[in-house]
Amino acid sequence: MAGCKYKYYVFDAYGTLFDVHSAVAKFAGEIGDSADRLSQIWRTKHLEYSWIYGRLGIKKSFWQLTGDSLDYAIASTGGLADEALRDKLLNAYWTLDA
């Protein structure tokens, strides 16, 4: 582009460089049989929320989408025996495996 002094490089770190399922994997024993399903729903809903809100022009932070999509996944899989586990899962998202 003539006259453009900036170049932008965009890449998807979440799901490409980071293992987005590692947060749930760390607590699979505490979650139980629904761990894999919860992880899949969490990831899918996170992407869907970002697409829908982006398309509608609604601004939500990455972390708000992460929490909202986790809440949806938890509700879809019957809830968690330990409510503190939700916070553990969100905190684990800060340090995903590569």
Q: Which helix (H) or strand (E) holds 88?
A: helix 84-92
**82-34-88-67 Cα dihedral, nearest 10 degrees:** -110
Residues 6+ apart with CB under 8 A from 23: 39, 89, 92, 93, 96
Marked catalytic residue, from 12, 36, 68, 71: 12
- Is 12 known to be catalytic? yes
Catalytic residues: 12
